[in-house]
Amino acid sequence: MRSALWASLAVFGLLVAALSVFPLSDRLGADGDTSQAATQVSKVTTGEEAAAVEGWGTPAWRDEFNGSSVDESRWRVRDSETEGNQHYDWAVVDRDAVCVGDGVLRIRLEELEEPVQDGERTRYWSTGYLDTQDKHEAQYGRWEFRAKIPTDRGSSKGVWPAFWLTNETLGEIDVMESWGDPTEKFRPAQFVETSRFTVHESTKGDRRSQGWWYEPITMPGEDSYMSATDFHVWTVEYTPDSLKAYMDGVLAVHLVEDEELVSGQKVDYSWIWGETFTSSPWEMNLNLQMGDPYWTPAPVPSENTRTPTDYVVDYVRFWSFDG
């Protein structure tokens, strides 16, 4: 995720170009019903009524979050005591920041009563992080989730929700990440209330190194479009032949090997089907971070961030790729 920040800055012009090619013409109502828009513009359907997606059948793995607690047969719930904190996060990872009820999963970012000193870093917040390590992984398939992301303008400084796929060979597919209000030092305000789809890999075998090879592509979005009060659906379909990303059932990105279909320019994307991306399967990550070292100084509670702030996930579904 960290590279996406720099990558997005570096190629902002390209992102704008991509936006112009794929405007999100079908705006959705506040009720978050995606079925109508999906039918109009794509064969891909989403929503509770869509148990089967054309060509993909029914989900092989899913969590609708209908229970009263996190299903730990599906998810590993991280905690600072066992998995530590994120290197690039100003929050402490707390398993109690994650809960299930009323049909949704909530990851809560909240001001700590007392800041925690963690090495040289002072962490003012607590937050949640789930992944599917040792519980679900797949090389190819269709991943989809529906969520409300809390990155409203004016109340979300440093807020950074994400749903992303990682593998053991340092590949990363960011199905959705979004950044809240910028700090003084980082990030143009245009990024607020949008979300981003990114794929990237490291060329130095170290996630923290600066040697990233990436291709960031923006999802459709405009000012005032994203808001914490609306559900949206994000989907990625990764197969041996293509990589597609959808938002609210609308195809936003379609990459194939040796060809780039978003901006109309031919770009070599063969690395997305190279060793890094295909030699180990993908697990899911679902988390809500608070800034990172690039957003220095740390977003201070009450400065410009609602607390508590909830990242609300209605479902996560996975469809197998059967060739």
Among 24, 32, 46, 65, binds Ca ion (CB under 5 A): 65
Residue 103 makes contact with Ca ion by CB under 5 A:
yes
Q: Which stretch binds Ca ion (CB under 5 A): 17-25, 95-103, 128-136, 181-189?
A: 95-103
Residue 57 makes contact with Ca ion by CB under 5 A:
no
Residue number, 65 or 277, with CB nearest to Ca ion: 65
Q: How far is the CB of 104 from Ca ion (least distance, A)?
A: 5
Q: Which stretch binds Ca ion (CB under 5 A): 58-66, 183-191, 266-274, 297-305?
A: 58-66
Q: 3-class SS at 71?
A: coil
Q: How far is the CB of 118 from Ca ion (least distance, A)?
A: 34
Return the C-alpha torsion angle 74, 77, 82, 87, nearest 10. Answer: 120
Q: How far is the CB of 314 from Ca ion (least distance, A)?
A: 4
Q: Residue for token digits 């989809």?
A: 144
| Beta strand ranges found along 211-295 (DSSP E) | 212-218, 232-238, 242-247, 250-256, 259-260, 283-290
Cα separation, 59 vs 151, whole angstroms: 29
Residue number, 111 or 314, with CB nearest to Ca ion: 314
Q: What residues contact 273, with CB distance under 8 A and at least 6 apart?
A: 240, 257
Residue 71 makes contact with Ca ion by CB under 5 A:
no
Residue 63 makes contact with Ca ion by CB under 5 A:
no
> In the structure encoding, which two tokens stand for residue 207, read together?
């996630």
Q: Which stretch binds Ca ion (CB under 5 A): 211-219, 237-245, 281-289, 309-317?
A: 309-317
Residue number, 23 or 101, with CB nearest to Ca ion: 101
Cβ atoms of 179 and 191 closer than 8 Å:
yes
Cβ atoms of 280 and 50 closer than 8 Å:
no
Q: Which stretch binds Ca ion (CB under 5 A): 16-24, 26-34, 101-109, 204-212?
A: 101-109
Alpha helices in the chain (DSSP H): 2-10, 12-21, 35-41, 80-83, 275-278
- Dump the DSSP string for 154-183: TSBTTEEEEEEEE-TTSEEEEEEE---S--
Residue number, 64 or 259, with CB nearest to Ca ion: 64
Residue number, 123 or 317, with CB nearest to Ca ion: 317
Among 64, 83, 230, 259, binds Ca ion (CB under 5 A): 64
Q: How far is the CB of 62 from Ca ion (least distance, A)?
A: 10
Q: How far is the CB of 103 from Ca ion (least distance, A)?
A: 4
Cα separation, 285 vs 282, whole angstroms: 10
Identify the burial level of 188 via C-beta atoms within 10 angstroms of its C-beta, where 0-12 means exposed, 13-18 middle and 19 or more buried: exposed
Q: How far is the CB of 64 from Ca ion (least distance, A)?
A: 4
Residue 314 makes contact with Ca ion by CB under 5 A:
yes
Cα separation, 230 vs 149, whole angstroms: 8
Residue number, 62 or 207, with CB nearest to Ca ion: 62
Residue number of the CB atom closest to Ca ion: 103
Binding footprint of Ca ion on the chain (CB under 5 A) = 64-65, 103, 314-315
